[in-house]
Structure 1
Amino acid sequence: MAGDVVDLIMQDHREVERLFDELKENPEKRKGLVPVLTTLLSAHSRAEEAEVYPAAAAEAGEADDVAHSQEEHVEADQLLEKLAGTDPDSANFDKVLQDLIDAVSHHVEEEESKVLPGMRSNLSAERLAELGEAFAASRKEHLGEQPDDITREELLQQARNADISGTSSLGKEELKEKLREQASE
């Protein structure tokens, strides 16, 4: 049994915060830790988008906060790609890392103060456990992926989560662009 989805999500948040600290405090570990961070955040995001956000929006009454959270995932994916493409020994790495830390920290704070409490108060313990199983399975399936490994179907799910209509006929690159535009508004 995986556990309560809210607890699992918060465990991932704490692990990401630990990795951020490690990246800031130990520059010599950056080359090895950046891929760990990008794969963990990518798997976490895809699992939330596929399993958690649809339930939070439809069953827990969190549609507006889910749409906002989805936009923040798109922004985080862009920042993760930028971090992965930045030489850890370059002077620019610290700025790119801090931009990512700021964006993800903001997202975590909002998610933990709005979406997750809404789920905990509006969904049964059984439903939270079911979502925990689904989240854990989806997260495991996506481990090893990088932000750019996203599929067209996953981009369509992001669009649904963000409440963006008129996307079903768009190709993968058009979807990415539409999501990025929405996230930057």
Structure 2
Amino acid sequence: MNHAIDLGRPVAGDVIDLITDDHRLFERLLRQLRDTTQDLDAVRRAFADVLIAHGEAEEELVYPVLRRKTPDVGEHEIEHGHEEHAEGNEALLKVLELKGTDTQAFADAVEELSNLIAHHIAEEEITILSPAREEVGMKIRTDLGATWAARRNELIDRNCGSVENVRRIVAEAEREGLLDDDDDEDDED
């Protein structure tokens, strides 16, 4: 995929640092999605590719290892991470399906997406990544970093953030019961 927006092409490093680097990239791209001087369509396509690639690679490669290697990260935290990825992907789909980027509907959808991503980033960094930094050895983290980066980059190259692929991912999450049937955002209380 040829992006005018630099999504980075990490090839190696501590997987925790690589994941948090992507989190900072998400935050930058979400700020750009609110900036009407940007090419908002290009930004949303770039954001979709990196968000989907990041999450898919994380769920395929990182979460299973952390589940086994990190006693302080329980099944609940990993499952909650999966659920939050699904919610973020569902919100992303709403942003992608909107025709225009100069409408209130687009601004509202970006705001919902931004709130979900900010919540997930904070929670994942505190409940999953921080314990992993202390409990998982550097060799495992760097081996995992190279594998995760390769998979992330491969998925970006495959245009994984296409609206068709995001629809497929959201439909799969619905079938797996990761998304609530009602659209009530206040279900955590």
Alignment TM-score, normalising by the size of structure 2? 0.80
Gap change, CA 1:32 and 1:175, over 3 Å in 2: closer
In the comparison of the two structures, how many residue pairs are matched? Answer: 167
In structure 2, the residue matched to 1:72 is 84
- % same residue: 29
Gap change, CA 1:78 and 1:25, over 3 Å in 2: same
In structure 2, the residue matched to 1:43 is 53
The one-letter amino acid paired with 1:130 is: D
In structure 2, the residue matched to 1:159 is none
Q: Which residue, out of 89, 95, 100, partners 2:102?
A: 89
Which deviates the most, 3-12 or 140-149? 140-149
Gap change, CA 1:107 and 1:173, over 3 Å in 2: closer
C-alpha distance after superposition, 1:9-58 (max 9, x if no partner): 01101111011111112354211111000011000000100111111112
Runs of 5+ unmatched residues, structure 1:
156-171
Q: Is the 8 A contact 1:74 1:183 kept in 2?
A: no
Give the structure with the larger helix fraction.
1
Alignment of 1:12 onto 2:22: yes
The one-letter amino acid paired with 2:82 is: Q
Report 1:153-168 matches (<5 A). none
What SS is found at the alignment partner of 2:68? helix
The one-letter amino acid paired with 2:113 is: L
Structure 1 position 145, deviation (Å): 0.6
In structure 2, the residue matched to 1:104 is 117
The one-letter amino acid paired with 1:82 is: K
Please provide the CA RMSD for this pair. Answer: 2.4
In structure 2, the residue matched to 1:168 is none
Alignment of 1:58 onto 2:68: yes
Gap change, CA 1:72 and 1:8, over 3 Å in 2: same
Which deviates the most, 17-26 or 38-47? 17-26
In structure 2, the residue matched to 1:179 is 178
